[in-house]
Amino acid sequence: MKRYFVILLAIIACQVAVMAQPVATFKESTYDFGTIKESKGPVKHTFEVVNTGDKPLIIIDAVASCGCTRPSYTAKPIKPGKKGKVEVTFSPVGRAGTFRKTVKVRTNCVEKVSSLIITGSIIPKSKE
């Protein structure tokens, strides 16, 4: 009987270890820059991410939907309960009108990819 109890405890411990995962919880997933002027140059926004899981969170990569958008991110593992960031820089130069750009953030979470979206409207130099 004691042997079965030890085996049962080992099985439960293995299941708990498998369930332990990092969880990327973004404070927001969309940011609206509003109306920006092309002549003012690039604008930036920082998306905050909290690891609400119980294993270190690793941001593997962040890829933008176009060359006018550049993401940078916390490179070190984010411990459980701690914060990291994904900073997105958008260049309005040579563009006019509304925009909607996506940054795909790849992590070591169960849900491997999170999408961050920036939006806004650009006033071209010719209309300033």
| Residue 66 in domain | yes
Residues 26-39: b if buried by 16+ CB within 10 A, e if exposed: eeeeebebeebebe
| Residue 15 in domain | no
| Residue 114 in domain | yes
- Residue 1: what pLDDT? 54
| Residue 17 in domain | no
- Residue 13: what pLDDT? 47
> Domain span at residue 96?
22-127
| Residue 85 in domain | yes
| Residue 89 in domain | yes
The dihedral through the CA atoms of 50, 55, 56, 57 has a sign that is negative
How much is the pTM? Answer: 0.83
| Residue 7 in domain | no
Helices (H) and strands (E) in the chain, counts: 1, 8
| Residue 12 in domain | no
| Total of domains in the chain | 1
- Which regions in the chain score pLDDT beneath 50? 5-6, 8-10, 13-17
Q: What is the pLDDT of residues 99-114, one digit of tens each?
A: 999 999 999 999 899 9
